[in-house]
């Protein structure tokens, strides 16, 4: 219930939740847990912890390179679960394991669901697993109390909104653009009407991600979404400063504090 409780808390504060993505194992597994704790301290509400994969087809260059670095350093799904266990000794921040289907399948869907629950994860988002094909996995995640989050696109039909509204748990993730992850200089703020349409089919919170990289963009999205998701911009900070542990955490902290402040309704960053 960590995810649901966090959304409830932020709604009571008049704030959109800030969801931050990082790739586990980049720049190292040891630093990953420190980065997560720094994200939380700086204002992140939910963590998407990326499972590195050799063919991240939905991701742009920043996250592709992060996956490559993490895989070269020996990061595996097992070691990521160990990191979650380590984080849980210090934090109750909601953690969603974000990845591609193949590593979960290779690990074993039933075994993964139990081990993820035992490690302290709260949910899973499988980029290349559509809801129509998710039953084999979802039966195990449901049994273990893990949320399974599905993606909606700007081109999604009403029928698909209804399907995902019925099947997703935790929150609905609306991809802001058709294409891969990555920072973009401009955002399509007409998504507000689409969010309103999605809310016809679900009472779950609606989060928006892909392309959000500045406090100004976050603030404008926070006017009408329940969550703002930021990933590639953070991953680029890690890429740039990853060799300097303390300096890296300082850079992350400053960036996330600005995003968090922008997520308040009525923020100075909003149009």
Distance, CA of 172 to CA of 150 (rounded, Å): 6
Residue 183 Cα distances to 2, 42, 148, 212, 238, angstroms: 28, 21, 25, 6, 14
DSSP string, 196-248: HHHTTT--S-EEEESS--SHHHHHHHHTT-SEEEE-HHHHHHHHHHTT-HHHH
48 counts as catalytic:
yes
Q: What angle do CA 144, 164, 179 make, to 5 degrees?
A: 110
Out of 26, 45, 48, 226, pick the active-site residue.
48
Distant-in-sequence, close-in-space partners of 12: CB < 8 Å, separation ≥ 6: none
Tell me which H or E stretch contains 194: helix 191-198
Please state at what angle helix 109-119 crosses helix 77-88, rounded to 10 degrees. Answer: 20
Neighbouring CB atoms inside 10 A of 14's CB total: 10
Distance CA 190, CA 138 (A): 32
Decide if 150 contacts 172 (C-beta within 8 A): yes
d(Cα 36, Cα 80) in Å, to the nearest integer? 12
Could you say which of 59, 183, 226, 239 is catalytic? 59
In this structure, how many other beta carbons lie within 10 angstroms of the beta carbon of residue 214? Answer: 19
Catalytic residues: 48, 59
């Amino acid at each position: 219930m960590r995810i649901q409780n966090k959304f409830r808390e932020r709604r009571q504060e008049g704030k959109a939740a800030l969801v931050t993505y990082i790739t586990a194992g980049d720049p190292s597994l040891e630093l990953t847990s420190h980065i997560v704790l720094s994200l939380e301290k700086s204002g992140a509400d939910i963590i998407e912890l990326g499972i590195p994969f050799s063919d991240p087809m939905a991701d742009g260059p920043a996250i592709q390179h992060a996956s490559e670095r993490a895989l070269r350093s020996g990061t595996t799904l097992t070691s990521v679960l160990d990191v979650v266990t380590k984080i849980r000794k210090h934090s109750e921040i909601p953690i969603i394991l974000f990845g591609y289907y193949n590593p979960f399948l290779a690990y074993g869907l039933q075994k993964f669901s139990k081990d993820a629950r035992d490690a302290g994860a709260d949910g899973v988002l499988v980029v290349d697993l559509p809801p129509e094909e998710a039953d084999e996995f979802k039966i195990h995640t449901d049994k273990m109390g893990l949320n399974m989050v599905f993606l909606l696109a700007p081109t999604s039909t009403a029928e698909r909104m209804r399907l995902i509204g019925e099947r997703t748990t935790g929150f609905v993730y609306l991809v802001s653009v058709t294409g891969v992850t990555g920072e973009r200089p401009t955002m399509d703020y007409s998504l507000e009407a689409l969010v309103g349409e999605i809310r016809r089919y679900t009472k779950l919170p609606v989060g928006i991600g892909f392309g959000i990289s500045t406090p100004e963009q976050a603030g404008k999205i926070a006017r009408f979404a329940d969550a703002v998701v930021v990933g590639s911009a953070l991953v680029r900070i890690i890429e740039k400063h990853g060799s300097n542990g303390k300096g890296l955490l300082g850079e992350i902290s400053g960036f996330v504090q600005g995003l968090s402040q922008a997520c308040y309704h009525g923020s100075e960053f909003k149009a």
